[in-house]
Amino acid sequence: MNKTQLIDEIVAKTGLKKKDAEAALAAFVDVFADTLVKGEKVQIAGLGSFEVKTKAQRIGRNPKTQETIVIPESKAVAFSASKTLKDLVNQ
């Protein structure tokens, strides 16, 4: 599902105007991203939790040249599904 399809589903389920659904989704994405950038965890009941985790610096290898390289520390968003979502998917 892409953004346009998601907006169409929101309109169908809520009866909102398309413009309002787009604005609500845009605001949600902005708040969601800003919260993660601040290093805070986002928990949504029935869906799960999102948090930023730091991957440590590590040694890697170029498969073509076999040269070792240092892969710098990086951050990634991790998602943990709620029990409710897991149960729904496994029905």
| Predicted confidence (pLDDT) per residue in 29-43, tens digit | 999 999 999 999 999
Asked whether residue 23 falls in the same domain as residue 48, the answer is no
pLDDT in tens, 41-75: 999 999 999 999 999 999 999 999 999 999 999 99
Asked whether residue 14 falls in the same domain as residue 57, the answer is no
- Token code pair at residue 11: 């309109």
Asked whether residue 47 falls in the same domain as residue 90, the answer is yes
Asked whether residue 60 falls in the same domain as residue 90, the answer is yes
Q: Could you give the number of structural domains in the chain?
A: 2
Domain span including residue 73: 41-91
CA-closest candidate to residue 60, choices 47, 79, 73, 43: 73
pLDDT at residue number 12 = 96
CATH code for position 66:
4.10.520.10
pLDDT at residue number 53 = 96
CA-closest candidate to residue 31, choices 13, 19, 44, 16: 44
pLDDT at residue number 5 = 96
